[in-house]
Structure 1
């Protein structure tokens, strides 16, 4: 009797996320993921075509969870800096959860098409985050280039979030000076 597979996609993603965190992208491979899921490599390929597709799905899921939490924070009562702090901390958490793979492709052996695909996807998602920041900071009373300021804040968050060494409190005065 054939083995019944339940929630196999979720199992693949869970195992891949764990391996990605423990070993990094370079050591992640389809055979290991399949073995840890208790399935044949060919079965895994029925669900995902490559490890890049698996990692892309993990990153998309992490991003979507982050965006939901950011949306809740933006809608809540609170000060602008508190809301920006939540966005920054959520971005850092998302980066930690995918082991910074999304932002650090320098040590990864990928084709030019794969790198371009990741960059395009990353740019699209960061534009969405920048748009959320724009909604928070936009003030129709002042004549400022809020789109540029939102983009700068987003890139500041990505840079320092990636490094993981700077707490939001250290960025507050810089952000406030851009908004005055």
Structure 2
């Protein structure tokens, strides 16, 4: 009789994330994951068809924490500056964990990606937050919320990678 395993997918994701962050993308292999999870290699393939699919799910799950944060901030009484500061910190933590993984994947796989579709939920969610702030009178300029969200996200990601200016300077440049 086959053994019944609970939360196999979650276990695979958790153990794989540990390996990915502790070692690197190249070191992550299905055999090692299966061993860490006490499952057969075939069981792994019941949940993920490739290592890349697994890594993308890990990245998506962690990235969604930033989107969840923005959702929480929509009805929060913090100032817009404080809200953006929290979003910046969330991006900084995410990239701090995964920037080397992104570089490694791009060196192995190339840089082809669906940029706009990958971030559309983030732009939409931040755009909704910006719209709320406009309606509350916090943002006085007449800006397209989605385009402004795109601008903010792009610059916050660049800022977290380079730290070429402080968050304070960035916010002052927004001049809102």
Q: Give TM-score, length-normalised by structure 1.
A: 0.78
- Is the alpha carbon distance of 1:177 and 1:78 closer, same or farther for their aligned partners in structure 2, counting shifts above 3 Å? same
Bigger mean CA offset, 66-75 vs 5-14: 66-75
* Shift of residue 69, structure 1, vs aligned partner: 2.0
- Is the alpha carbon distance of 1:147 and 1:92 closer, same or farther for their aligned partners in structure 2, counting shifts above 3 Å? same
Which residue number in structure 1 is paired with residue 83 of structure 2? Answer: 83
Which residue number in structure 2 is paired with residue 122 of structure 1? Answer: 118
- Is the alpha carbon distance of 1:144 and 1:61 closer, same or farther for their aligned partners in structure 2, counting shifts above 3 Å? closer
Which residue number in structure 2 is paired with residue 48 of structure 1? Answer: 48
* Shift of residue 73, structure 1, vs aligned partner: 2.4
Which residue number in structure 1 is paired with residue 170 of structure 2? Answer: 174
* Shift of residue 160, structure 1, vs aligned partner: 2.1
Aligned length: 172
* Shift of residue 60, structure 1, vs aligned partner: 1.9
Which residue number in structure 2 is paired with residue 24 of structure 1? Answer: 24
Bigger mean CA offset, 135-144 vs 8-17: 135-144
Deviations 1:2-22 (A, max 9, x none): 222111101100011101101
Q: CA RMSD in A?
A: 2.9
Contact 2:70 2:129 in 1 (8 A): no
Contact 1:149 1:178 in 2 (8 A): no
Aligned equivalents of 1:141 and 1:49: distance in 2?
49
Aligned equivalents of 1:8 and 1:128: distance in 2?
32
Aligned equivalents of 2:133 and 2:102: distance in 1?
26
Aligned equivalents of 2:33 and 2:76: distance in 1?
40
Which residue number in structure 2 is paired with residue 151 of structure 1? Answer: 150
Which residue number in structure 2 is paired with residue 71 of structure 1? Answer: 71
* Shift of residue 48, structure 1, vs aligned partner: 0.7
- Is the alpha carbon distance of 1:39 and 1:121 closer, same or farther for their aligned partners in structure 2, counting shifts above 3 Å? farther
Structure 2, unaligned runs of 5 or more: none
Deviations 1:25-83 (A, max 9, x none): 12211111111111111111011101111111112211222222222123210211111
- Is the alpha carbon distance of 1:90 and 1:129 closer, same or farther for their aligned partners in structure 2, counting shifts above 3 Å? farther
Q: Give TM-score, length-normalised by structure 2.
A: 0.79
* Shift of residue 151, structure 1, vs aligned partner: 2.4
